[in-house]
Amino acid sequence: MMAGDQQISVVIPTLNAKVRLGGALACLEAARDQGFVREVIVADGGSSDTTEKIAGSAGARIVQCDRGRGLQLATGAACAVSDWLLFMHADTWLDGGWEMQAKAHIAGGKDKAGVFRLRFSARGLAPRIVAAGAMIRTRLLRTPYGDQGLLISRKLYDEIGGYRPMRLFEDVEFIDRIIKQNGRNALRVLSADAVTSASRYQQDGYVTRVFKNFRCLMMYRFGRSIEDIEQAYQ
Q: Output the CA torsion 210→213→217→220 (10° steps).
A: 160
Taking 90 as the threshold, does the pLDDT of residue 103 lie above it? yes
pLDDT, tens digit, 9 for 90 and up, residues 123-138: 999 999 999 999 999 9
Q: What is the pTM of this model?
A: 0.95
DSSP annotation of 122 reads S
pLDDT on residue 116: 98
| 102 vs 83: CA distance, rounded Å | 13
pLDDT tens by residue, 189-224:
999 999 999 999 999 999 999 999 999 999 999 999
Q: How far apart are CA 18 and CA 69, in angstroms?
A: 17
**DSSP secondary structure code for residue 95 in this structure:** P
Output phi, psi for 182, to 5 deg.
Answer: -115, -5
Question: pLDDT tier at 25 (50, 70, 90 boundaries)?
Answer: very high
Collapse the DSSP code of 50 into the 3-class scheme (helix H, G, I; strand E, B; otherwise coil) and give the result. coil
Helix (H, G, I), strand (E, B) or coil at 28: coil
pLDDT value for 4: 60
Q: Which CATH superfamily is domain 4-126+143-197 in?
A: Spore Coat Polysaccharide Biosynthesis Protein SpsA; Chain A (3.90.550.10)
pLDDT value of residue 133: 95
- Report how far residue 32's alpha carbon sits from residue 197's, in angstroms, rounded to the nearest whole number: 23
Length of the chain: 234
Percentage above 70 pLDDT, the chain:
98
Q: What is the mean pLDDT of residues 94-108?
A: 96
Residue 234 pLDDT grade (very low, low, confident, very high; cuts 50, 70, 90): confident
